[in-house]
Amino acid sequence: MPEVSSNRHVSSSSALAKSINQRRTFAIISHPDAGKTTLTEKLLLYGNAIDLAGNVRARRNSRNTVSDWMAMERERGISITSTVLQFPYTGRILNLLDTPGHQDFSEDTYRTLAAVESAVMVLDAAKGVEPQTRRLFEVCSKRGIPIFTFINKMDRPARNPLALLDEIEAVLAMQPVPMNWPLGDGPDFHGLVDRASGKVYLYERTVRNEQRSPETRLSLSELQRQGLLADGHFERVQENLALLDGLGIKFNPARLSTGEQTPVFFGSALHNFGVQLFLDAFVKHAPPPQPYPSDAGSIAPTHPEFSGFIFKIQANMNPKHRDSVAFLRVVSGRFERGMSAVHSQSGRAARLQRSYRMFANEREVIEEAYPGDVVGLPNNGSYSIGDTIAINGDLRFVPIPRFQPEHFARLLNQDINKQKHFNKGLRQLETEGAVQVLYDVNAMRREPILAAVGRLQFDVVQARLENEYGVETTIDPLPFTLARYLITDNGQTPEPWSGKVLLANDSDERMVGLFAEEIYTEFLLRRNPGISLAPYI
């Protein structure tokens, strides 16, 4: 094991603790079309990270769209890959990890959630808790991630706010605590009542919703006196507020941290209504970086020696930088550019000369980073998702699990003259975790079989091979629904039959069986007593 001098990279406890307490690292989760990307960009707008919603604050007189930077994301209007965005706000440093909303990319979302301390759950006010929201909530719940709820799209016709709160409690088994209350919905949505202060916030729409919305603050009595709400509306608001107060449900930070409560905020991300109210409360109540489990026990962020883990790998994010970047979540200590550490999985020394702060597909060199921060490191194939980099090379953080694939297809290169580019692109996409790649052991030609959690991942592979490597491909779907590792002590290879089982090798030459249905796993075991099966994870 290489020796790494730790004296230079041991941080003073007071300076380290101050930097840790400034950080808030969180993800945004939602069902598709609930407004996750819009809220992301409006948080950046209020954090002064962008000058107009949708545009990065000018750098060298150029502008770029922010969180959805991949061509296919813009074409389809969905988030496909996780994005890291850092910005300061009221003395805090916020690390926002935007996640894909579509269920076909849930594995990428899960990896991102391994790197955060809290999550913002965005709900559509007309639809409430939707299926993908429920799945992502379950991931957060298993990891013990506190959840803040933003009920979006109040500028459109919405369900009764009380019914939405009831649904959160019934479906997600968390006690919702409304921190503000909407004044109407749809065209009658005028603003919000902040329950803690009793102040009313009235908003005005801006041109194309690109800038902060002007707001007027007044008391409830002033709101009534000025007659700004339609007949009967003010009375309904008063009744609802009195009902909430009568229930005696109060926000408790301790119950947030245990997952028993979720603070709920109403608003309209599109029109910037309620965004700042939410952001102010979030930075106040969201947890700072927390300890992470490892094979050496729990590692506290205040531990003086640097450590971190790779949770994401991405190539070709910017045409100016046709390279691969590993995203390192700092867990403990102080990261310094040029420091020496150890790649725990290989035991190799890692000289971290180049380090970047990532902002969507933009990057800038950074000299230091602290727990909660995400550092971009050049990756020439040395790093894999889940790897640990630390001063103490014997330390390994708990691995990030891989999802079981449910969809399989052959990927066919349409131009043999571009086989080199085809192979390079496919290797890179597998390293990123976009898909898993297998090869049929009985095939005459070595044609890759893609294994994916969702079918849309196949479209992403094809689009990226064409856009980033100039390779056109076709997809040939296969009739298999599950994969298992085949384990044998004597090198026995079972024979496939009836097209219901296919034998393949993965990139590490481990044998994998693909099965049309679960029942065929039993047939294989019955016919081959010397073989056992293991989950393909």
The one-letter amino acid code at 380 reads N
The predicted pLDDT at position 81 comes to 57
The predicted pLDDT at position 205 comes to 85
Q: Which two tokens stand for residue 519?
A: 């029942």
348-352 and 339-343 beta bridge pairing: antiparallel
What integer is the mean pLDDT of 268-284? 96
Residue 535 has pLDDT above 80, yes or no: yes
What integer is the mean pLDDT of 50-77? 49
Burial of 417 (0-12, 13-18, 19+ CB in 10 A): exposed
Range name among 176-180, 378-382, 488-492, 519-523 with the lowest pLDDT average:
488-492
The predicted pLDDT at position 67 comes to 47
In this prediction, residue 61 has a pLDDT band, given cuts at 50, 70 and 90, of very low
Residue 7 has pLDDT above 60, yes or no: no
Write down the mean pLDDT value for the chain.
Answer: 88
Cα–Cα distance measured from residue 371 to residue 288, given in angstroms and rounded to the nearest whole number: 9
In this prediction, residue 450 has a pLDDT band, given cuts at 50, 70 and 90, of very high
The one-letter amino acid code at 436 reads Q
Domain boundaries along the sequence of the chain: 23-82+92-285, 407-535
Residue 55 has pLDDT above 70, yes or no: no
Pure H helices in 29-151: 36-46, 71-76, 106-113, 131-143
Residue 456 DSSP class: H
The predicted pLDDT at position 489 comes to 75
pLDDT tens by residue, 136-161: 899 899 889 999 999 999 999 999 99
Q: Which fold has domain 23-82+92-285?
A: Rossmann fold (3.40.50)
The predicted pLDDT at position 365 comes to 93
Percent of the chain with pLDDT over 70: 90
What integer is the mean pLDDT of 87-103? 87
Residue 444 DSSP class: S
Residue 425 has pLDDT above 90, yes or no: yes
In this prediction, residue 177 has a pLDDT band, given cuts at 50, 70 and 90, of very high
Residue 40 has pLDDT above 70, yes or no: yes
Report whether CATH 3.30.470.10 matches the domain 407-535: no
Percent of the chain with pLDDT over 90: 66
339-343 and 388-390 beta bridge pairing: antiparallel
| Nearest alpha carbon to residue 494 among 511, 507, 519, 516 | 511
Query: What are the angstrom distances between the C-alpha of 192 and each of 154, 220, 230, 265?
Result: 10, 11, 15, 9
Residue 292 DSSP class: B
In this prediction, residue 231 has a pLDDT band, given cuts at 50, 70 and 90, of confident
Residue 108 has pLDDT above 50, yes or no: yes
460 vs 229, which has greater pLDDT? 460
Q: pTM of the full predicted structure?
A: 0.87
Range name among 305-309, 396-400, 489-493 with the lowest pLDDT average:
489-493
Q: Which of 312-326, 461-475, 481-495 has the highest mean pLDDT?
A: 461-475
Residue 461 has pLDDT above 60, yes or no: yes
The predicted pLDDT at position 99 comes to 79
In this prediction, residue 498 has a pLDDT band, given cuts at 50, 70 and 90, of low
What integer is the mean pLDDT of 202-215? 85
What integer is the mean pLDDT of 474-501? 86
Burial of 339 (0-12, 13-18, 19+ CB in 10 A): buried
The predicted pLDDT at position 513 comes to 95
Range name among 97-101, 222-226, 325-329, 451-455 with the lowest pLDDT average:
97-101
Residue 71 has pLDDT above 80, yes or no: no
